[in-house]
Structure 1
Amino acid sequence: MREQREQVLRTFENLRKQIPLLYAVTLVNAVGVHLATGGNAFEWFSPLTLLGALLLWRMIFWIVFQRPTHEFRVARRELVKMVCFTALLGVGFSLWVQSLLTQYPDKSLTILLYSLLAALGAAYGLSSFPRAALLPLIIMGFPLAVRVFLMEGHAAKGIGVSLVLVLGLFTWLLQVHSRALTGLVSGQIALGRERNRAVAAELEAVKRADEDALTGLANRGRLVREIRDHLVRGPGPGGGSVLAICDLDGFKSANDAFGHAAGDQILKEFATRLQREFADRALVARLGGDEFSIFWKDGLSGDQIEEVGSRVCELASKPVAWDGKELSVGASCGLTEAGPYTSSESEFFRQADSALYKAKASLRGHWHLYDQPQFEADQRRANIEKLILSGSAAEQMYVVFQPIFCVETGQPVFAEALARWDSPDLGLVAPDEFIRIAEKLGVIDRLNEDLLDKALTSVADWPTNLALSFNLSAMQLGRSASAERIRDIVRAHSLPPERVQFEITETALLTDLEHAAKELKKLSGFGFTIALDDFGSGYASVSYLTELSFETIKLDGSLIDNVLENERARQILLGLVDLCHAAGAQCVAEHIETADQYRLARAMGCDFVQGFCLGKPTTSEKMLEALGLEGGPSRSPLGRATKD
């Protein structure tokens, strides 16, 4: 149907330029026939007058009034009218010429010449419509050729045969032209169809490149381009573009419990809610997973930001209906305004992501706006990362030691190594701060091995009855052949393994229990003492006592904090001490801050104690001096603690 439509429209457009030529040729030859037969007087109602007027009118109509059209019905109607008129004109012209041949036999050749020229001219004028072009040949040309063939004389018969052959050849050429024209139109239609398909495919590809397949929202790529092209930085607080990043709290639990279909429904429903709420003046996008983003290029007022943050969390809090169930999730949201500290599009993203992290860390289902204190904290963190990665941090770090005392003898048996960092650029950097960053950067094992080397250097000056206690990180235990590397570091200092104890936290074991157990077994086989640190602070500590072997267990300091005032806390502490002994391990009570806490720990059967009232973390030299281990008599603080 489409091919027929294109064929008709193309034919009409070509004929609109050719048909005036058809009428002009026919009119000229009609006048020529009239003059050849001796006609010179004008008569209103003669065949020539009627035929000429009709031809002249149609020629003027097609030149002046017939306009281009792209409507199939109009073009088809005009073509039908043209075919009918051509047939009628051909019949009238043919009858007129036949009558003239009868009246003027002496003018036959002239009449035939003009008539055949009219037929061929009309056919040529209709060549863009080959089927219609056959009409002048069939109605006018062939009858004339037959008439010539029937005349007397061999010359007339030869001319008649020749005319038939010429008209036949012309007819064949019109058929060839018709097929070629049809093929050309079909080819152009096919080419257009392929071009349209290619354009459609390109548009679909562009759409897929800019659209999230599941939710129909913009994807990360489109959001990045929008921010790149339309980000407005305000001169100070307020006035700049605003970006919100939110993710769904509890989504993973719902997805795991009910399956991916339920998870997809949650994502689609939340996307619909965001689109309905904010799409009129912001770009809503899905960044991936359960993380979404909203970008206001023209910014928001302070009140609007508060409203938006609360609204995002509120939209997520409404249950999602799925398969007869109501699925409940929440959302945390971080927002940022582009301002003087937004140095780039990636920094804009990072600030919103940092605000989201803070919102999730403080309280789920809440929002947070990125502010100046957070920017300063992020800058500090970035500087810490830079110093750690450059190796400057390792050079600036040093080790302090806190003694661990045997309750029975009152003598120090271990000294725990604690990392300290006093940066010329950042000031004091807390261990919790730089250890967490080093772990995230994946360099904590390298940093810890360097600290172990520094600690072992100090041990060379200690008496042989004082051992080193050193904390291992989860990442160290997660590395292949970590036990061998640690052993080699100790060997390099010519220190027997019996004088080194390694402390392992529960979080280190949670990372990869199976691999950590293998590495701990190797360390124990090398002769090192293994201690479980912060016992009682987690959920799975008791199970470790059945699966792993520890020589020492350090009770978490929180168990000591309120033990004097809380009877239940005392009962729990006593139970844990008994549990340690039942597992074949000695226990250490940490955070001993007062003499009363020390006496209670001793009464409950703790084997070792550690805390500020017994010895604060300090350098190796000061620790040895305080303990009287530099050649003088030993001075244990346990006696003083007992008397206090």
Structure 2
Amino acid sequence: MRRNAPATAASGYDAQLLIAAVDAMPCGFSVWNERFKLELFNQRFIDMFGLSEEKVVPGITLYKICELTIAEGRGAGLPLGVLYNSLKGRLERQKEHQRPGRLEQVVGDMIIRTSIARHPDIGWMVTHEDISEDVRQRRTELETKQQLLTQSTWFERAINSMSQGLCAFDGDKRLIICNRAYAEIYGLPEKLTAPGTRFEDILEYRIKKGLIPDGETPQSHRAKRMELVESETSERKFIEFENNRFIYILKNPMPGGGWIGVIQDVTEEQQKEELISERSRDLKLQNLRFEAAVKNMAQGLVMFDAERRLVICNDQYINLYNLPKKLARPGTRFAEIAAHQVRMGMVPDGCEDDFLQHIDRLIKDGGGKKTILEMANGSHVSVNYQPVGDGGWVSTHEDVTERQLNEARIRYMARHDALTDLPNRTCFNEEMERSQSRISRGDKLALLCIDLDKFKRINDTYGHGVGDEVLRRVASRLKNGKREHEIIARMGGDEFMLLAWPVNSAEDVGRIAQRILHDLGRPILIDGREFMISTSIGIAMAPEDGKDGATLMKHADMALYRAKGEGRRSYRFFKKGMDEAIQQRHKLGADLREALAQNQFKLSYQPVLELASNRVSCCEANLRWEHPERGILLPEQFIPVAEETGFIARLGAWALGEACEAARDWPEGVRLALKLTSSQIICPRAAENIASILKATGFDPARLELAVSEKTLAKKTKAKLGVLQQLRSMGVRIAMDRFGAGFSSLGNLGAFSFDKINIDQALMNEIELSRQNREIVKAIISLGGALGIVTSASGIEYEAQLDIVSEYGCTEVQGHLFSPAMPASSIVELLRTVEMRAAQDAGFAPASQLIG
């Protein structure tokens, strides 16, 4: 210790004691007077600041101490003035009786804590304590604590960032730690996630919330969970399905008790696994289907990769190209298969030398399109090459040889007549269209319309089999007789067309027509029976008679009509006046609309005699048109026009109403007979219209007899028979008219119960001379008798005709032999006369009584 004044005897002991105490202090100690001079200090003070003992003596100033300190490198890096003023100011700020002030500063490698106290008598007492170790220890502890805090934060963030739930329980089944995912998965409130929470409390909470696995009860779930957590032997893993979720649970026991648990919601993963599994099953199924489809394809299928190596081919492809097994293996080069195809002749004709290049062109230019290749061996193969994205290709192959032949056959049949093998109407129309270019170049053409005369009689008499054979023979003669530049076609039925070019004159064409008449006029022998065929021909020439096919065909048809009208078995050239008949037909249609309003139509009635009673059973109404310019027109002259113009419905309704009004005055046993046309039957509400007329006129339906011809029933038979059935249900009698006229169908007699059969009048012509007609009439009458149907023969003009049909058992007869058709007034008088005579013949009252 150093002091400023020597000690006295009285105070020597105390001074020594003070010096010893100060020197023994573990910290540096110094005393400073009011003039900032050092009064007292110990060795520790000198050592701490690295001062020289020789230089530091009592009375040294604070300024000098600062100089020495800086010289020793312990001035904290401060300039002398700054350091001095800082220490001086700190001493000056320390007041008396104030708690000691403290200052910590770095001196060299030490941290010194300076404590300053001020005494009124002594000055400033300063202690200097080396707290470097304490600071370092405190800093280490702080750093350790900060590190632990950081680690704790990272750990908390880490476990809370886990997608899995994490929990740790101690040996007492109390929660040590859990993360956010654990609480969320199990839906735990915050209080149950606090450390120390009992596992049983967490379990009960979940049970109360109903959060238990499917298929478990609260009791079974509680027991299983407690058994699980109490097991300390091994790790446990399992998945539970709970609340529509799949929960993965891992329980890992810890040494010394307790466990760590990992819980994860794996619903999405399970669904993905199920989806993958499902897709895998689907893929397997698709593969099976693909394999089945490939094996069972009608076409051959083959696939090659970018290296032109075989990937797959089916049996159809193998069989089509007769591939040996070694060439059908995956990996086979296309060049090897192509070489085999060349050897087999199964390459496109003419491509044997560049088949590979040919395939390249097909893939490049025709990808996705079917191509039919005619092979060198004569077969036809339909191929479809489709490039694949990786550079390879897939193709299908089908042997269409038979199909090609069939399609060619179908194309041929579509344009040729099946019966005669001649070109048909379609083919001929195409040829007529092409002929227009020849006409425009100035070529002369001739169109001949050929029709067999009365061919229908052959079908009606000998059947369609014989008729078909006649047509085949005719076609053969036409085909064999035609020139190189002539085209012959069957247009339908017994109508043929011949197109001839080039022609020089009408004389040339006339010679062609004469040749046809000669060829077809020779007898035709079929099954020992000789047939003589006559032909009518109509001729139109281009460009005189028309410059297009439609006009030429129309004019040739008009010329044919003229040839038939002038005796048949001849030919006629078209002349411009021939279309006058058509114009007259159009005018007739216009006149029809006025005729009814002007009362030009008249009805007459022809009686029908019942042979057994010799009385009139009915009267047939016959319609006539008293045309102001053309005179009396028969039904066959205007009914077709009425049907074409749609006037037939009005005309038929007028005729029925007029006839019913007239027939009301007839004797009750006499019926009214009328004929119905096809148009009248198929018109809408036909039966209802007739019923309305009967009701309006008050005529008894049972006294009405309506006749329909077999020709009328030839088309739409079912619908027409339905109308007849409606009329029958009303009480109207139905007759089959013109039976035996060529449209005979016994099926109609079976399909509908007709009340009467009217034998065709044409069969009565020369019946006494024609054995054939007699046999037909006899058969019809016999058929009617067998079926219980009344038979009626019309056109009876001679006694001989009457004798024949009477002998055969015909029920009724009609004709001029008995009475012609009469107007309404005359027929009433006739019927009364007949009734009176019949009554007199039977021995009844005199006629005057009957009339009266």
TM-score w.r.t. structure 1 length? 0.48
Name which structure has the greater RCO, CA cutoff 8 Å, separation 6+.
1
Instruction: Specify the structure having the higher radius of gyration (Cα).
Output: 2
